[in-house]
Amino acid sequence: MKNKSISVIGAGSWGTALSILLANNGYKVNLWVYEKTLCDKIKDTRENNIFLPGFNLSKNIYPTNSLNEAIGTNKIILLVIPTNFVRSISTQLVPLLNLNSLIINAGKGIEIKSLFTIRQILEETLPKTCQLASLSGPTFALEIAQGMPSAIVAASDTKQTALLIQSIFSCDYLKVFISNDPIGVEIGGALKNIIAITTGISDGLKAGNNARAAIITRGLVEMTRIGTALGAKAETFSGLTGLGDMVLTCTGELSRNRQLGLRIGKGEKINKIMQDIKTSVEGFLTVKSAYELKNKFNIQASIISETYKVLHESKPPHEALESLMNVKINSEFEGIKGL
């Protein structure tokens, strides 16, 4: 590429890790940091000590608290921000963007009020001339920053765009696959966080390995039901952004969503847990959107329903588990298009 400069909007753990990777790949990275005090600290110490401590940030990474400075003349913008801030920030970006900008979403979630994926929010708020794509998969920020072997998916409506993203992010420790199902990729990335909370709750209750495996497998069915109802391809959910991300987030100890569930299952109060966790736990809010989506499309999704009731209606976790065991079902894959 002639202009090897990229804007990364969001300096949480994932945004910082991807900035490290891009800088290692030879790109100049304009990293937008929401918190001014943190931005100043990163400039002084070359470390994001709040969200990804222990990593020296390359001189190719330029932290800024100004969206205007972060965008500059760059035509490739990577969004790595919590879902509930996407609409506000994308609206602020509109006057700053080149008309033919490529906007890559690396966030995971579903907006509560609109029930939109992040891509759908961007479609509604950004100029129609912008290209949109999604980057998602089973990747912990810490391991990407450490350069550990990983795989991820670049999804776009056009193969050319997906291949461009593949070329930008590929390196000797990150294998990038391409997909033409961005809605499926985003739904998988969002809903797996809910199932990770559920498996955490189950493990916190010491329900056993059998229960964990059942929740992951049946959670994948519920994800696929909702995804296909929204127009996604069923096979997407058997790939990296569905099953792959589900396994990682439901079993990996670095998963914030799993840790939230574990602590709930052990009897801790949700408000106290959320105060302790510094970074975003997307599944906590996404479960509200998923609950509304399943009701909207009349989809049988008992795991999502019971997790919603635990998180937002104060249902005791052990009662939710009992309710799951008493659900009447007929067929393992009933209600999934294409299966």
Residues with a known catalytic role: 192
Distance CA 124, CA 99 (A): 15
At residue 155's C-alpha, the angle toward residues 151 and 159, to 5°, is: 110
Whole-number Cα distances in Å, 47 to 113, 162, 178, 299, 322 = 36, 31, 32, 45, 46
Closest listed residue to residue 145, CA positions, set 35, 241, 56, 76: 56
Report the amino acid identity of residue 87. R
Whole-number Cα distances in Å, 39 to 33, 79, 84, 85, 239 = 6, 17, 21, 18, 36
Cα torsion 105, 155, 245, 186 to 10°: value is 60
